Amino acid sequence: MCPLGLYVHIPFCKSKCKYCDFCSYIGKLEKYGDAYVDAVCRQIAEMSTLCKDRMVDTIYFGGGTPTMLEAEKIGLILNTIRADYKCTDDVEISCESNPISVYDGYYERLRAVGVNRLSIGAQSMLDSELLALGRTHNAEQFEKSFFAARAAGFENINIDLMYGIPDQTEKTLAESVDRVISLVPQHISVYGLKIEPDTVFYKKRSELALPDEDTEYNMYMEVCKKLEKCEIHKYEISNFAKTGYESRHNLKYWNTDEYLGFGTAAHSYFDFERWEIPRGLEAFINGDYHIQKTFIDEKERITEYVMLRMRLCKGVDYEKFKELFNLNFLDLYGKKLEKFIDGGFVIIGNKNCNFTDNGFCVSNTILSDILEFSNK
């Protein structure tokens, strides 16, 4: 049976971080929380008719802040999935967590309903940087949350970190990375700050003391070195894991595997189509929305596959590419990629093509050069 991933968007937050452009709603949980969960469960049940020949092997609760919901509400959603979908025995069930959204006994209850992987947002281990980002927790609260998760029995935990934070230096980033390493997580995600439209940072972008490009490059390279020394291996441009703890759900995105998304603003990739549910809390609850579907033709599928696979350290496997598209990867892109070999940006091997660490830092430029992007 074909594997399938499921994503569930929980859009409630206590406050909006200054860099965040995700679909989230502040102060709406009490009024809309129960109705939203009911609407998600209805959508899950309705879409199950499409998936009779699929086996769900990953489930991911993202947000927003999923842990603002009672653990039993997450359990209700999981029970709906279990009732209407076939799940593998080892299904990976991930849940994003904000350090101050949990309280005594919460992680135990979350494990009891079936969640077996956590992703906790630290972003930084320095209180001054957390304040600059608009985070509502401090470093001590993060560590308390992490230890509570460990005590509850979670053995697969990701920690999110950011670099390029206003006023951050290579020294302060190294301090954050060292403190996170000392906690011995299984997985670490390290994202460069991006100033997105419709965020507080975007409105104040001219006032932000951001690291320059050379400093950001040094930050990224030093993080890679530190984590590799601790056997936390990079497997994707922003993701590092102990062997065997790579995020199986996120790998679906980079491998262009199929997944369904539930909840407002959720996206899906299914049967060669991209689906998007419009933003709108009340509209989603009332069922007053239309899923926007876009067919992805073969040319665009090839472009997306190369773009996403090249985010992985393994890059594009020639044999797999041939299997999927009945085309030779090097015939299509070999000549264009050759000019990036001497600069130490790309490796063209016998079985696969991949970026070097230096190549990852300029990957967008290289991919823009070799790929033809659709304007639709």
Domain that holds residue 218: 2-253
For residue 376, what pLDDT is reported? Answer: 44
Q: How far apart are CA 268 and CA 293, in angstroms?
A: 9
Boundary (domain end) residue, out of 253, 272, 299: 253
For residue 100, what pLDDT is reported? Answer: 87
Q: How far apart are CA 233 and CA 187, in angstroms?
A: 9
- 325 and 222 together in one domain: no
Burial of 122 (0-12, 13-18, 19+ CB in 10 A): buried
- 65 and 200 together in one domain: yes
pLDDT in tens, 59-72: 999 999 999 999 99
Task: Count how many Cα atoms sit within 13 Å of the Cα of residue 357 in the half-sphere of its side chain.
Answer: 12
Q: Check pLDDT > 90 for residue 201.
A: yes
Question: 241's torsion region: left (phi>0), alpha (psi -120 to 50) or beta?
Answer: beta
Q: How many domains does the chain have?
A: 2
> Which CATH number fits the domain that encloses residue 59?
3.20.20.70
> Is residue 265 in a domain?
no
> Is residue 140 in a domain?
yes
> Is residue 296 in a domain?
no
Label residue 373 by pLDDT band (50, 70, 90): low
Q: Which of 317, 326, 318, 315 is nearest to 354 (CA)?
A: 315
